[in-house]
Amino acid sequence: MNGPVTERPAILSLSAKALEEWLAEHGAPAYRRKQVWGWMARGAASFDEMRDIPKPLRTDLDREFRITSLRQVAVSQADSGLTTKTLYELDGGHSVESVVMRYADRSTLCISSQAGCPIGCPFCATGKFPFGRNLKAHEIVEQALDAARMLPAEGRRLSHVVFMGMGEPMANYQAVVESVRRISDVDLLGISPRRIVVSTSGLIPRIAQLGDEKLAVTLAISLHAARDDLRDVLVPINRKYPVAELVASAQAYGVKTGRRVSYEWVLLAGVNDTERDARELGVLLRGKLAHVNLIPFNPVEDTPYEAPDRASVRRFKELVQAEGLNVTVRDTRGRDADAACGQLHERVMRERQTVTAS
């Protein structure tokens, strides 16, 4: 009987050291590793493109490794081409998505850290499917490399990465930290940790650990409610890590890293956009080095929630401002196609139809 077909490992599944050891075994100097990584960062789609690597070594690399483990299964454009969402199939069959958002002064990639999410927030498309698995560090980095490959042809380069795609980054801690190190490594993408945002539903022990990593990534806390009884429902991990302790740990992270903490607040009409909510948020964050990001809900089918209208978004923003907090309204990229991260996956799962980029 035939066993399962084993794929060649992805080149980035090897650490720098492991790749250098492999190179030594193949009679090549260690500096070839930096060359390979440099080509990866510049968007090489094959080892054969790596012109300053001797041909026999390129052949050896190709025989033993894949350039990437990700397979594009669907691409969708929105916002007149300013937003591109890509759904990837991972080894083993799970899928994740990432979203490139183009702005005047930056190009931001929203990246996934897990296939599915174990937290199960009731308004989130990702939380609706059974949890799949944690991504490996190289699978996270490969999403960034794919975006880095797409952008130069448009005269752009990838400048920011946000862990706001599928999954709870702090529930896949080691791989996320390793991927941040790779994404910020000058031998690879060289994106400053300051331009990398890790968004979390609030795993307090991991926030403390992240503060000790000397990475200084920007931390975003998905708050959505300032009182425990409401947050217990909207972000179920709150039952384990209540909101006041969460804010204390986030602020401690901010002090340790010198980075201002962002608090995300998905606006759900009639649920968390009232005067009471603004007041409670004010009590929680007043006087702290913090920024509040209001995100109008992107409707997800089969949830009991609705998006607020423009007037109530404006009113809530003013109420929060009146509490003395820094607050902005996040622009809702991708609304006309498959909306936020997680929703392309949802639609593809729903329809099982493949859209290919033109």
Pick the stretch among 38-46, 123-131, 211-219, 345-353 that binds ligand SF4 (CB under 6 A).
123-131
In the numeric block, the tokens 């890590």 are attached to 241
Nearest to 214 by CA among 263, 171, 256: 256
Pick the stretch among 100-108, 131-139, 290-298, 318-326 that binds ligand SAH (CB under 6 A).
290-298
CA 280, CA 320: separation in Å to the nearest integer?
Answer: 10
Name the residue nearer to ligand SF4 (CB basis): 297 or 316: 297
Alpha carbon 44 to chain centroid distance?
23
Among 139, 264, 273, 323, binds ligand SAH (CB under 6 A): 264
Q: Is 306 a catalytic residue?
A: no
Pick the stretch among 53-61, 87-95, 113-121, 283-291 that binds ligand SF4 (CB under 6 A).
113-121
Name the residue nearer to ligand SAH (CB basis): 35 or 98: 98
Please tell me which residue in 20, 97, 142, 323 is annotated as part of the active site: 97
Nearest to 258 by CA among 193, 189, 180: 193
Give yes or no for residue 137 binding ligand SAH (CB under 6 A). Answer: no
For residue 78, give the 3-state DSSP assignment.
strand
Name the residue nearer to ligand SF4 (CB basis): 184 or 199: 199
Give yes or no for residue 262 binding ligand SF4 (CB under 6 A). Answer: no
Write out the binding residues for ligand SAH, residues 198-217 only, by CB under 6 A: 199-201
CA 90, CA 96: separation in Å to the nearest integer?
Answer: 8
Burial-class residue 163 by CB neighbours within 10 Å (0-12, 13-18, 19+): buried
Among 11, 57, 110, 117, binds ligand SF4 (CB under 6 A): 117
Pick the stretch among 116-124, 237-245, 246-254, 279-287 that binds ligand SAH (CB under 6 A).
116-124
Contacts of 279 (CB under 8 A, 6+ apart): 319, 323
Q: Is 89 a catalytic residue?
A: no
- H or E element in which residue 108 lies: strand 107-110
Name the residue nearer to ligand SAH (CB basis): 35 or 222: 222
Q: In angstroms, give the least distance from the CB of 181 to ligand SAH.
A: 19
Name the residue nearer to ligand SF4 (CB basis): 35 or 126: 126
Contacts of 127 (CB under 8 A, 6+ apart): 116, 117, 119, 120, 121
Size of interface with ligand SF4, in residues (CB under 6 A):
11
Size of interface with ligand SAH, in residues (CB under 6 A):
17
CA 162, CA 196: separation in Å to the nearest integer?
Answer: 6
Nearest to 345 by CA among 85, 134, 142, 131: 85
Identify whether the C-beta of residue 123 lies closer than 8 Å to the C-beta of residue 107. no
Give yes or no for residue 120 binding ligand SF4 (CB under 6 A). Answer: yes
Among 126, 134, 262, 298, binds ligand SF4 (CB under 6 A): 126
Write out the binding residues for ligand SF4, residues 143-202 only, by CB under 6 A: 167-168, 201
Nearest to 355 by CA among 102, 333, 128, 345: 345
In the numeric block, the tokens 């972000």 are attached to 235
> Which residues here bind ligand SF4, judged by CB under 6 A?
117, 119-121, 124, 126-127, 167-168, 201, 222
> Which residues here bind ligand SAH, judged by CB under 6 A?
117, 123-125, 164, 168, 199-201, 222, 264, 266, 295, 297-298, 300, 340
Q: Which residues are catalytic?
A: 97, 341
